[in-house]
Amino acid sequence: MQATVQLSQLIELGGKRAARQALAGLNRDLAEWDFETARIDVLTRVTAAFLNVLVSQQTVALAARTSALVEQVEQTVRTRVDAGVVSPIEQTKAGVTAAMARIDEQRAQRALAADRTALAVLWGHPVAVFTTAEGDLLTSPALPPFDTLAQHVARNPDVARWATEIAQRDAARALESARGVPDLTVTAGYRRLTDIDSNAFVVGASIPLPFRDRNQEGIQAAAQRLAQAREGERAAHARITTLLAAAYRDLAVAHDEAAALAAGVLPGARSAFAAIEEGYRLGRFGYLEVLDAQRTLVSAETQHLRALADVQKAVAQVERLIGVPLADAASTPVKDQ
């Protein structure tokens, strides 16, 4: 008869512990990149919602100016009708135009209320507790060349995370390689031999002999995942560069349109409307000329506001893609990746 008490300790060989620690650290870094991507996405959505509020505020202001303009023309028409200079039909037309302008103003106010609520919801309020949003749609940063912006694509979290992803999968491959090295098990114990009334210490060591299984399948699968990560990085870089090209095109088009409208179209439309309105008051032009000049002015102002909004929205999209503010893109050096 005998009784044995024995303890064993597994000693990992091949660097398994260090490989697991490296893999865990890279998994943590990937989680941080995922958080950064989510953070920037939220920031981009809030920026878009804020711009919607700014544009809606400007739309309401434009609708109010249009209503005042139409009412001014209506008053002029009424004066000329009362004087018997023009037909009452023109007063009817002016009244219809004024009513439509008031409808447009009410629609703009409802859209503003909806945009204010949408912005408030993004920071956790069911209703908007602010009255106005302060911002300048007229001011936009200078537009750097596309090649300068393309150098910053590597800063985009969707691209930058792939460097960590590749390192993580390389660490996983190293761990699979380490698992192909058998571990050593050391044992030590105490044995009581009751038949001969004797005690003994027991010491031993064991190691498996991997004649067939050296984890080749795990190593091969990890190597394939590493190759997929490298291809994923190239695909992500190409995808973000393509999106940046489209966003840059939209920004350039909106920027040029806004500049052209502000420099030539708006001043001309305002000057023409003022001259035709004065001429109508003096009997030199008919109401159709006034109505046409009025529509041209309103259309130009609406198109200018839309172009300004498109510029700011395109700026926000470009900044999301390059990972830095557009104003800093030309001055911020790009580090080698």
For residue 206, the SS3 value is: strand
pLDDT digits (tens, 9 = 90+) for 29-59: 999 999 998 988 888 899 899 999 999 999 9
For the chain, the domains span 2-329
Which pLDDT does position 139 carry in this prediction? Answer: 79
At residue 245 the predicted structure's pLDDT band, cuts being 50, 70 and 90, is: very high
Give the tokens for residue 63.
Answer: 């609708």
How distant is the alpha carbon of residue 208 from its chain centre? 54
For residue 124, is pLDDT > 90? no
Q: Taking residues 6-33, what's their average pLDDT?
A: 88
Which pLDDT does position 211 carry in this prediction? Answer: 60
Residue with tokens 């200079």: 85
What backbone phi and psi angles, to 5 degrees, belong to 49? -65, -40
At residue 337 the predicted structure's pLDDT band, cuts being 50, 70 and 90, is: very low
For residue 204, the SS3 value is: strand
In the chain, the percentage of residues whose pLDDT exceeds 90 is: 39
Mean pLDDT of the chain: 87
Please state, as a whole number, how many other Cβ atoms lie within 10 Å of the Cβ of residue 65. Answer: 15
Please state, as a whole number, how many other Cβ atoms lie within 10 Å of the Cβ of residue 103. Answer: 12
Q: What does DSSP say about strands 198-206 and 2-11: parallel, antiparallel, or unpaired?
A: unpaired
| Range name among 117-126, 134-143, 160-169 with the lowest pLDDT average | 134-143
Highest mean pLDDT among 76-85, 138-147, 201-210, 313-322: 313-322
Q: What is the dihedral of CA 242, 248, 254, 260, to 10 degrees?
A: -130
Which pLDDT does position 106 carry in this prediction? Answer: 94
- Angle CA 61–285–88, to nearest 5: 80
| CATH dotted code for 2-329 | 1.20.1600.10
Which pLDDT does position 334 carry in this prediction? Answer: 59
Task: Report DSSP letters for 136-202, one per residue.
Answer: -SS-------HHHHHTTGGGSHHHHHHHHHHHHHHHHHHHHHHHTSPPEEEEEEEEEETTTTEEEEE
